[in-house]
A and B are shown apart, each in its own frame.
Chain A
Amino acid sequence: MSYNSSFKYIKRSLPLFAVLVIMFAFTGILSPTFLKVENMMNIMLRLSPLLVASCGQTFVILLSGIDMSLGAVVSLTTSVIALGSIGSISSPILLVFLSFALGIGFGLLNGYFVYKGIAPIIMTIGTSVIAKGIALIIRPIPGGMVSLELAEFLGLEFGGIFSVPMIISFSFFLFLMWILHWTRFGRHLYATGANRDAAKRAGVEVKKTIILAYVISSISAVVCGLLVVGQIWSGDALIGEVYTMDSVTSVLVGGTTFTGGEGGLLGTFAGAFIISMLSNILNMLNVFSYFQYIIKGLILIVSIFISFRFFSRRRKVYE
């Protein structure tokens, strides 16, 4: 990304950060406990896995794809990590490696067939069901115990304001930011997302780019799963489902569009922040939990409407 376009991109993400600041100020005034350190730590705890998942989802959506299997891979990871309790595989490091291997496997599968031409939503729904099945075989009912060292490490807090999940998710975010905005692969990704044929003619290795994007998405699902393990200390074959939708929402709220090749990780960061603060804010304002669904759905639709109407460069062809 050139300096000029990255400047434009940062400028385009500014309204989102303005929304974020307004949300902070508004809730801070209405509910004095909101700005306390404990509550901020709560928000960070909720943000960390979502941020990681959303970053991965961004890569795929930039290719006008979607990864519906993300949540299932999150669940699969928690199930695999919790295998330790059965005693079949005791080393937590081995289990972490196994999760990554499974995740990368699903990423390769998604990427390869999407490159071959299966609609991303079909392909990833298919693999999500497969991953769900495998997770349910490993862990038919939620439970199991995670190796204590690993769980404690993943939930470690220090200095009053820092925690391991926060550090992992933020460094993951920065790492992907580097990949997307400062490497050749990142430029190829934007090119492929904007116009696949043109990119191919310009010498972009489209196949490699697409497959790698889906692998990154699956890897981030595995990392997200590890962070979830740090919170629940056990395995659950269904716990990750929510991250599919929430990650897509964060990415879209963050201004990346389904048309492909437009958007980026800075917006996703703001989007994930907004989504993970939303429940907290609604709780702080004493909104009935069932009613929160309605508000969340409305915010999803309205925010996408606004970002499409006012911030998108491209319009649908038939309009």
Chain B
Amino acid sequence: MRSILKNTILYFLLLGIIVVIGIISPQSVLPNQLMIVIAQSVPLILAAAGQSIVILVGGIDLSIYSVIMLTNVVSCSIIAGNPENNLTAIVVCLLLGVLVGLINGLGINYAGIPDFVMTLGMSVILQGIVYTYSKGSPIGSIRGFLATLSNGKLWSIPYSVIFVSVVVGLLMFMLYKTTFGKRLYATGGNAVASKISGVKVKLIRTTAYALCGLLTAMSGLMLSGFVRVASLGLGSDYVMNSIAATILGGAAFSGGLLRLENTVVGALLLGFLMNLLTILNVAQSGKYIMQGIVIVGIAYAYLIFRRSSNE
């Protein structure tokens, strides 16, 4: 009974929030409105997917905010209002994301720096680079492909939702069906045993960080497409929210446990929760308190479920 509860609690919570939204303001649960909230959650879903994979192998990535800021400033300055530059911007930003993730992974796994320190240090360095590059006042704007991807619709489904479904689908295939995915789980579950069994633990972990960098860069690009201008504070909540979504999805911090679809639902849950609080006219301060309570509450609930299933 408890295990069923554990596996479905998230979906019930999400449903519950949507029902509450529907009771308070019926016009907010029309398909179009729901789609808007989902589309708004897309950048977070991407970042949270990256964070989940890193947490799966027993790490953490605190540089997400800075990578988003970096891709935002770089993509805006490359595109600079000219739709023809979209391809260059996307390629450069994705490469930058992978590069940052790779450096994180190499520092953590091959130089032996704790994940927390490495990604925090990287975050500060990237902020310095962005500030120096933009001289404190970033310029440029986004037009063309990226803006369409983030804001356009196919019939009534936003492109961004289609895009994120494809990405999450690919990631799920990678995690559940491929050897690489199996190795990710093995590494997170028991690094020593995996190493003895011939898994290249360090390489796998490094790849996980690179993958997180790539997904974060995607998240930054989608977010930039939404706002269409360069802004230095963009994505400042994403480190915390991506961790929160992962925890809501039930991934343990010790690694080895992850259902990516649950992370996606966790991110949606946060999105709808914020939507509900906005409808209720709660100020930012109240949203923070609510978010904190949800994080702690869910983490504790999972802990109890896990403990009772172990007994």
Contacts and interface: CB of A to CB of B under 8 A. Distances in A.
Q: Do A and B make up one complex?
A: yes
Interface of A: 66, 113, 116-119, 121-123, 125-137, 140, 245, 248-249, 252, 257-258, 288, 290-298, 300-301, 304-305, 308-309, 315-319
B214 interface: no
B296 interface: yes
Nearest to A252: B117
A207 to B, nearest CB: 16
Contacts of A129: 240, 288-289, 291-292, 295
Contacts of B254: 119
A232 B136 CA distance: 24
Given A117-B307, A319-B112, A130 B292 contact: yes
Interface of B is mostly: helix
User: Most chain-A CB neighbours within 10 Å: which of B117, B136, B253, B303?
Assistant: B117
B287 interface: yes
A255 B251 CA distance: 31
A294 B303 contact: no
A240 to B, nearest CB: 14
B124 A137 contact: no
A86 B307 CA distance: 48
Given A66-B116, A301-B117, A318 B285 contact: no
B286 A137 contact: yes
Contact of A318 (B118, B201, B287, B292): B201
A297 B122 contact: yes
B195 interface: yes
Contacts of B287: 133
B29 interface: no
A132 B295 CA distance: 14
Size bracket of the B interface: 35 or more
A137 B5 CA distance: 35
7 contacts: A113-B296, A113-B300, A118-B303, A119-B253, A122-B247, A293-B131, A305-B113
Contact of A317 (B191, B283, B284, B296): B191
Contacts of A140: 283, 285
B19 interface: no
A316 B112 contact: yes
B129 interface: yes
Nearest to B306: A117
A202 to B, nearest CB: 24
Interface in B112-134: 112-114, 116-118, 120-129, 131-132
Contacts of B295: 122, 125-126, 129
A32 B114 CA distance: 38
Nearest to B253: A119
Nearest to A290: B131
B114 A133 contact: no
Given A128-B292, A297-B128, A318-B192, A305 B111 contact: yes
